[in-house]
Amino acid sequence: MDERKLLKQLESGDKNAINALYARYSSRLYRFAFGYLKSEEDARDIVQEVFVRLWCKREALKEETNLEAFLFTVAKNTIISVFRKKISEKEYLEQLRFLVVRNSSDTEKQVDYALLNEKVRELIHTLPEQRQRIYLLSKEKGYSNKTIANELQISLKTVEDHLTKARKYLKGNLKGYGFLILFF
The terminus-to-terminus CA distance of the chain in angstroms comes to 51
Residue 95 pLDDT > 60:
yes
DSSP state of 20: H
Which 8-state DSSP code applies to residue 59? T
Reduce the DSSP state of residue 10 to 3 states and report it. helix
pLDDT tens digits along 143-178: 899 999 999 999 989 999 998 998 888 888 877 665
pLDDT value, residue 102:
62
Q: What angle do CA 104, 169, 40 make, to 5 degrees?
A: 100
pLDDT at 114: 72
Is a pLDDT exceeding 80 seen at residue 122?
Answer: yes
Task: Report CA-CA distances (Å) from 108 to 44, 48, 97, 101, 103.
Answer: 44, 47, 16, 11, 13
Query: Band of the pLDDT at 106, cuts 50, 70, 90?
Result: low
The DSSP annotation for 72-104 comes to HHHHHHHHHHHHHHHHHHHHHHHHHHHHHHHH-
What confidence tier does 110 reach under pLDDT thresholds 50, 70, 90? low
Q: State the CB neighbour count (10 A cutoff) for residue 74.
A: 19
Mean residue pLDDT across the chain = 83
Using 50, 70 and 90 to split pLDDT, how confident is the model at 90?
Answer: confident
Q: What is the pLDDT of residues 25-71, one digit of tens each?
A: 999 999 999 998 888 999 999 999 999 999 998 888 877 778 899 99
Does the structure show a pLDDT above 80 at 109? no
Whole-angstrom Cα distance, residue 119 to residue 167?
14
pLDDT surpasses 70 at 104: no
Tell me the C-alpha to C-alpha distance, in Å, between residue 59 and each of 20, 53, 62, 163: 17, 11, 8, 44
Q: Mean pLDDT across the stretch 84-104?
A: 73
Cα–Cα distance for residue pair 41/37, rounded to 1 Å = 9
- Domains of the chain (ranges; CATH) run 3-84 (1.10.1740.10), 104-183 (1.10.10.10)
